[in-house]
């Protein structure tokens, strides 16, 4: 059994490519688990970071520093009454949240967390992702229409108009990244997500810094378009509380509402992952072709293999990150008020510090250290984008709808087209 | 390689099953007390006067039509982008003509006011 697992992990194909459906299913379930945990963490972090930006404390009551708040929230949502309005179209009302969830999750099938850590690697990966992520619009329109209420209908129309407008700018930015993949020795580019990262490795640069500043402009167009795609602040018009109550999910309650919520955060993770894959080198660590002087680290599991000092230093970063987090949790434990009622909270936070330190120790074990690196760098880059999402929400005022459409059609579209043409011209000249 | 595409259906199946099963399963524990006013569409407490599925502004249709034009354009650009280096100057010229026609159309709709949201 163990031989089978290690043998599989050391092979260099994705489960889809190997035709191994059991492993594909395991990967799929792991992705689901990971995303659900990430969404829970994201909800807590968003409330915490927003609160600190506004000089508040945020959730503090449920668990130490409100850490159990997302669990309490999801339990509450599961146990709430599920209301379907009288005049609603029952079938469409039922299907809409599922549709949105499927569209948001299925994008993750082609996202490479590492050279082999993807469910499958399709030769049309990025096209598949563009197609599937636009299915979300369908679910939103279904939700708005099925509710048979004025606010949801208006919200869903606005939302679809906005998503559709920014999808063009997004697509053009993606084309300019695909164009950069064709600067290989063979002169043929690729649409496969793993192939795109490998092209960046072969060209010794992240596409964000290729043809400076063209890559960065394309990334900027994508980064703006992806905020509008996911209906987040400052483009959260469909959910503008002051105008439309809650937009397309006004009539949804309980678990169905939480499905929309889950889909929104999953879509945020998905588009951030795509941006990371296309422009920021996917699973590669910073300075991937800088190895440093060769050193030999005694390795107790396998024979001692020489490796670069810089490689080794970067491979320690995941463990160090967890140690830093553990230190934060430990300092938090010490700073808790000395009141008998805070005893449980204090114990919980202390236990969390121990768990984080334990994970850090596990990440130091050489075989784990080698395999976790790719995933760690990928997740770290995605986390930067997720922080940006929260930062935007805390900083920018909401756009007006006509300004939003004007920005999409009159600024982002020409910018995307211009970047594409400029990249093509520069590409032919060099 | 067709086996690369099989996990899509596996994934969609799981993505459908997990929420659907949870939704049905928790029917056992969640309360269910329907009430006439509770089942009314939400309109800030006012009794709704008419059916919501009425007519809406034509601008949404215009946006949809423009989207189709430009999205298809993006799809046409992708094969060229993949073979960009191989096609070289000839490909750039060909795509320049294709994009030129579209850009003329884009300028026309801009001047025509189809992009205004008044």
pLDDT, tens only, B3-37 = 778 888 888 888 888 888 888 888 888 888 888 77
pTM value? 0.89
Nearest-by-Cβ selection for A175 from B44, B64, B78: B78
pLDDT bucket at A305, cuts 50 / 70 / 90: low
Residues A305 and A278 in one domain: no
CA A104 → CA A98, A129, A140, B102, distances in Å? Answer: 10, 10, 12, 31
Share of chain B above pLDDT 70, in %: 98
Contact B118 A402 (CB under 8 A): yes
pLDDT bucket at A304, cuts 50 / 70 / 90: low
Nearest-by-Cβ selection for B30 from A79, A183, A421: A79
Which two tokens mark A154? Answer: 């208006």
Closest-approach residue (CA) in chain A for B65: A164
Write down the pLDDT at residue A51: 92
**Is there a domain that residue B118 lies in?**
no
**Is there a domain that residue B117 lies in?**
no
Is the preceding omega at residue A50 within 30 degrees of 0, hence cis? no
CATH code, domain carrying B50: 1.20.58.1610
Determine the structural domain holding residue B71 and report its residue range.
2-112
Beta pairing partners, A306: A296
Write down the pLDDT at residue A10: 66
Share of chain A above pLDDT 70, in %: 94
Indicate if the alpha-carbon torsion angle A241, A247, A252, A257 is positive or negative. Answer: negative
Write down the pLDDT at residue A355: 93
B118 touches chain A (CB under 8 A): yes
Average pLDDT over residues A38-61: 90
Residues A217 and A351 in one domain: no
Residues A150 and A140 in one domain: yes
Write down the pLDDT at residue A302: 57
Among A residues 411-430, those touching chain B with beta carbons less than 8 Å apart: 413, 417, 420-421, 424-425, 427-428
Chain B residues with CB inside 8 Å of A80's CB? 30
Residues A36 and A131 in one domain: yes
- Count of the separate structural domains present in chain B: 1
Nearest CA among A260, A256, A278 for reference residue A268: A260
Determine the structural domain holding residue A345 and report its residue range.
298-371
Average pLDDT over residues A289-308: 67
Contact B115 A29 (CB under 8 A): no
Those residues with Cβ within 8 angstroms of residue A367's Cβ, 6 or more apart along the chain or in another chain: A301, A302
- Inform me whether the pLDDT recorded for A1 exceeds 80: no
ipTM of the complex: 0.88
**Is there a domain that residue A407 lies in?**
yes
pLDDT bucket at A58, cuts 50 / 70 / 90: confident
- Inform me whether the pLDDT recorded for A16 exceeds 80: no
Question: Distance (Å) from the C-alpha of residue A300 to the closest C-alpha of chain B?
Answer: 37
- Inform me whether the pLDDT recorded for A401 exceeds 60: yes
- Count of the separate structural domains present in chain A: 2
Write down the pLDDT at residue A391: 92
Indicate if the alpha-carbon torsion angle A428, A208, B96, B71 is positive or negative. Answer: positive
Mutate to test the interface with B, among A127, A171, A399 (most CBs of B within 10 A): A171
Residues A162 and A195 in one domain: yes
**Is there a domain that residue B91 lies in?**
yes
B87 touches chain A (CB under 8 A): no
Write down the pLDDT at residue A237: 77
pLDDT bucket at A240, cuts 50 / 70 / 90: low
Nearest-by-Cβ selection for A21 from B10, B60, B96: B10
Write down the pLDDT at residue B1: 63
Residues A218 and A330 in one domain: no
- Inform me whether the pLDDT recorded for A303 exceeds 60: no
Contact B11 A105 (CB under 8 A): yes
Write down the pLDDT at residue A221: 93
B107 touches chain A (CB under 8 A): no
- Highest mean pLDDT out of A211-215, A292-296, A351-355, B110-114: A351-355
Write down the pLDDT at residue A174: 92
A245 touches chain B (CB under 8 A): yes
User: Which of A21-25, A158-162, A189-193, A419-423 has the lowest average pLDDT?
Assistant: A21-25
**Is there a domain that residue A290 lies in?**
no
Among A residues 42-101, those touching chain B with beta carbons less than 8 Å apart: 78-87, 97-98, 101
* pLDDT tens by residue, A194-229: 888 888 888 888 888 888 888 899 999 999 999 988
Residues, chain A, total? 430
Question: Distance (Å) from the C-alpha of residue A138 to the closest C-alpha of chain B?
Answer: 13
- Inform me whether the pLDDT recorded for A161 exceeds 70: yes
Query: Do residues A178 and A196 make contact, with C-beta atoms less than 8 angstroms apart?
Result: yes
Nearest CA among A119, A137, A154 for reference residue A26: A119
User: Which of A37-51, A119-133, A145-159, B40-54 has the lowest average pLDDT?
Assistant: B40-54
- Inform me whether the pLDDT recorded for A384 exceeds 90: yes
Residues A180 and A44 in one domain: yes
Average pLDDT score over chain A: 85
pLDDT bucket at A385, cuts 50 / 70 / 90: very high
Residues A117 and A252 in one domain: yes
Residues A233 and A315 in one domain: no
User: What SS3 class is residue A372?
Assistant: helix
């Amino acid at each position: 059994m163990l031989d089978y697992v290690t043998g599989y992990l050391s092979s260099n194909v994705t489960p889809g490519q190997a035709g191994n459906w059991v492993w594909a299913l395991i990967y799929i379930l792991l992705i689901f688990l990971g995303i659900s945990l990430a969404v829970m963490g994201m909800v807590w972090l968003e409330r915490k970071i927003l609160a600190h930006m506004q000089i508040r404390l945020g959730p503090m009551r449920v668990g130490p520093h409100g850490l159990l708040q997302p669990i309490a929230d999801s339990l509450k949502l599961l146990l709430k009454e599920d209301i379907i309005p009288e005049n609603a179209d029952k079938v469409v009302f039922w299907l809409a949240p599922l549709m949105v969830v499927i569209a948001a999750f299925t994008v993750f099938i082609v996202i490479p967390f590492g050279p082999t850590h993807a469910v499958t690697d399709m030769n049309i990966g990025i096209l598949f992702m563009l197609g599937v992520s636009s299915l979300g619009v369908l679910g939103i329109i279904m939700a708005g229409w099925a509710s048979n209420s004025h606010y949801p209908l208006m919200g869903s129309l606005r939302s679809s108009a906005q998503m559709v407008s920014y999808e063009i700018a997004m697509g053009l930015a993606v084309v300019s990244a695909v164009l950069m993949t064709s600067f290989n020795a063979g002169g043929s580019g690729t649409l496969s997500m793993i192939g795109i990262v490998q092209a960046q490795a072969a060209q010794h640069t992240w596409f964000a810094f290729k043809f400076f500043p063209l890559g960065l402009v394309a990334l900027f167009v994508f980064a703006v378009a992806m905020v509008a795609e996911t209906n987040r602040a400052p483009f959260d018009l469909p959910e503008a509380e002051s105008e439309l109550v809650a937009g397309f999910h006004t009539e949804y309650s309980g678990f169905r509402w939480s499905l929309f919520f889950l889909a929104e955060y999953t879509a945020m993770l998905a588009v951030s992952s795509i941006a990371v894959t296309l422009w920021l080198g996917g699973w590669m660590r910073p300075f991937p072709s800088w190895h440093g002087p060769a050193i030999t680290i005694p390795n107790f599991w396998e024979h001692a293999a020489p490796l670069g000092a810089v490689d080794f230093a970067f491979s320690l970063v995941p463990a160090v990150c967890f140690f830093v987090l553990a230190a934060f949790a430990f300092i938090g434990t010490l700073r808790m008020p000395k009141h008998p009622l805070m005893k449980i909270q204090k114990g919980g936070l202390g236990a969390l510090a121990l768990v984080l330190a334990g994970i850090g120790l596990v990440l130091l074990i050489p075989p784990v250290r080698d395999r976790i690196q790719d995933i760690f760098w990928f997740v770290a880059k995605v986390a930067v984008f997720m922080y940006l999402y929260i930062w935007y929400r805390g900083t920018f005022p909401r756009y007006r709808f006509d300004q939003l459409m004007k920005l999409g059609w009159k600024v982002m579209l020409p910018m995307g087209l211009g970047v594409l043409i400029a990249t093509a011209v520069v590409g032919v000249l060099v | 390689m067709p086996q690369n595409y099989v996990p899509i259906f596996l994934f969609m199946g799981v993505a459908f099953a997990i929420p659907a099963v949870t939704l049905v399963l928790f029917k056992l524990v969640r309360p269910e007390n329907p009430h006439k006013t509770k089942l009314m569409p939400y309109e800030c407490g006012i009794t709704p006067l008419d059916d919501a599925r009425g007519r809406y502004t034509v601008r949404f249709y215009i946006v949809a039509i423009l989207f189709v034009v430009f999205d298809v354009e993006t799809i046409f650009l992708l094969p060229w982008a993949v073979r960009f280096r191989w096609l070289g100057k000839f490909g750039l010229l060909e795509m320049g003509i294709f994009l030129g026609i579209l850009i003329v159309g884009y300028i026309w709709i801009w001047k025509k006011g189809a992009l205004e949201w008044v």
